[in-house]
Amino acid sequence: MQKEVIILSIESSCDDTSAAVLHNGKMLANITASQSIHEQYGGVVPELASRNHQQNIVPVVDAAIKKAGISLQQLSGIGFTRGPGLIGSLLVGVSFTKSLALALDIPLMEVNHMQGHILAHFIQEGKDLKKVPAFPFLCLTVSGGHTQIVRVTDFLEFEILGETTDDAVGEAFDKAAKVMGLPYPGGPLIDKYAQSGNASAYKFPKTRMEGYQYSFSGIKTAFLNFIQNNLQKDADFVNNNLHDICASYQQHLITVLLEKLVEASKDTNINEIAIAGGVSANSGLRKTLEELGLQKGWNIFIPAFEYCTDNAAMIAQVAYYKYLKGEFSDLRVVPAARYAF
């Protein structure tokens, strides 16, 4: 008889406290507490994030265990995000995991948050089996802290082909929103306003980069200058043109992202193409990728909305494969703000 494998996972790398339960590879529960406190500050305040994780972690884990209908004693192991992320936020999840694993005398599996985003494509829930990418596939991983093109050859085999040399694309969304006076995180708001705007209304400059590398800091600065110059001429410029500004800027970022993905697909001869991470929730990116996929004959994989942004279900997915391979972490493991693949 197949051994029952039940994994609890914890995600606390930024401002979402999340816990999930996976039973023999099937997701039973995924509970996330998001922190709205940061909205008023225009970005995540690390100390506040850490304190909120401390308050949320026990109720969130408790809710996930109850929803899954299991007891703590049934757990086979616990997966946790070791990094990358905010050190104070990570520390809460890592400390909690270590204590619980020690108390239950079960193994713990450290997970790279970005690998978690990619394996979100393998989350299975409910009765129907979802179609998953075949190996090897390329994944454009786009979040608040990262922008990467990754070649994935197996569940735990990842190779970064290219990444941003400065800011992440999520940062380019959020900072642009802040300049326009929108609250944090601004990415979803730019997406919302862009839907009824003219994407050809304004043009923004491109930064030429080698290979599959990206750069967004120049684009961010160009956007800031664009807004300031126009505000000098017309104090109502942003209010009167919000939808067109958002649509044009968003389309520009999408074009930059997808140009490199097209090159990577051509050079590697890989037509299985996925996107992952918070920015993969962007409706413009999803739509443009679908159109591009039809045109190029790609098999496209776009995560369900709830698994684009930070969640513990994706962390459980990586932890599950590590559990099956016996890749356990030592109880002395510490969080890693920077944590390479």
Residues that bind ligand KG4 (CB under 6 A): 14, 143-145, 170, 173-174, 185-188, 191, 277-279, 281-282, 309-310
Nearest to 166 by CA among 219, 204, 202: 219
Q: Is 310 in the site for Zn ion (CB under 5 A)?
A: yes
State the nearest-atom distance from the C-beta of 169 to ligand KG4, in Å.
Answer: 8
Query: What residues between 137 and 166 interact with Zn ion by CB under 5 A?
Result: 143
Task: Pick between residue 282 and residue 288 the one whose CB is nearest to ligand KG4.
Answer: 282
Instruction: Give the three-state DSSP class for 289.
Output: helix
State the nearest-atom distance from the C-beta of 55 to ligand KG4, in Å.
Answer: 20
Task: Pick between residue 162 and residue 278 the one whose CB is nearest to ligand KG4.
Answer: 278
State the nearest-atom distance from the C-beta of 45 to ligand KG4, in Å.
Answer: 15
Residue 336 tokens read as: 């890693």
Task: Pick between residue 323 and residue 339 the one whose CB is nearest to ligand KG4.
Answer: 339
Nearest to 237 by CA among 285, 181, 289, 278: 181
State the nearest-atom distance from the C-beta of 78 to ligand KG4, in Å.
Answer: 21
- Report d(CA 205, CA 218) in Å as an integer: 8
Extended beta strands in 147-186, E state? 147-154, 157-163
User: From the CB of residue 97, how many other CB atoms can be counted at a distance below 10 Å?
Assistant: 27
From the list 43-51, 167-175, 291-299, 304-312, the region that binds Zn ion by CB under 5 A is 304-312
Task: Pick between residue 76 and residue 143 the one whose CB is nearest to Zn ion.
Answer: 143
* Element of type H or E holding 241: helix 237-268
Task: Pick between residue 84 and residue 107 the one whose CB is nearest to ligand KG4.
Answer: 84
**107 is in the binding site of which of Zn ion, ligand KG4, none (Cβ under 5 to 8 A by kind)?**
none
DSSP state of 211: T
State the nearest-atom distance from the C-beta of 3 to ligand KG4, in Å.
Answer: 33
From the list 4-12, 147-155, 217-225, 302-310, the region that binds Zn ion by CB under 5 A is 302-310
Residue 69 tokens read as: 């209908």
DSSP state of 22: E
Task: Pick between residue 88 and residue 278 the one whose CB is nearest to ligand KG4.
Answer: 278
State the nearest-atom distance from the C-beta of 1 to ligand KG4, in Å.
Answer: 38
Task: Pick between residue 77 and residue 84 the one whose CB is nearest to ligand KG4.
Answer: 84
The site that binds Zn ion (CB under 5 A) totals a number of residues, namely 2
Task: Pick between residue 140 and residue 242 the one whose CB is nearest to Zn ion.
Answer: 140
Query: What residues between 11 and 40 interact with Zn ion by CB under 5 A?
Result: none
State the nearest-atom distance from the C-beta of 112 to ligand KG4, in Å.
Answer: 11
Q: Which of 162-176 are b and which e, b meaning 16 or more Cβ less than 10 Å from the residue's Cβ?
A: bbbebbbbbbbbbbb
Asked if residues 53 and 17 have their Cβ atoms less than 8 Å apart, the reply is yes
Query: What residues between 104 and 143 interact with Zn ion by CB under 5 A?
Result: 143
What are the beta bridge partners of residue 27?
22
CA torsion sign for 104, 110, 115, 117 is positive
Burial of 96: CB neighbours in 10 Å, binned 0-12, 13-18, 19+: buried
Instruction: Give the three-state DSSP class for 151.
Output: strand
Residue nearest to ligand KG4 (CB): 278
**280 is in the binding site of which of Zn ion, ligand KG4, none (Cβ under 5 to 8 A by kind)?**
none
State the nearest-atom distance from the C-beta of 140 to ligand KG4, in Å.
Answer: 13
Indicate the pairing of strand 147-154 with strand 137-142: antiparallel
Residue type at position 52: N
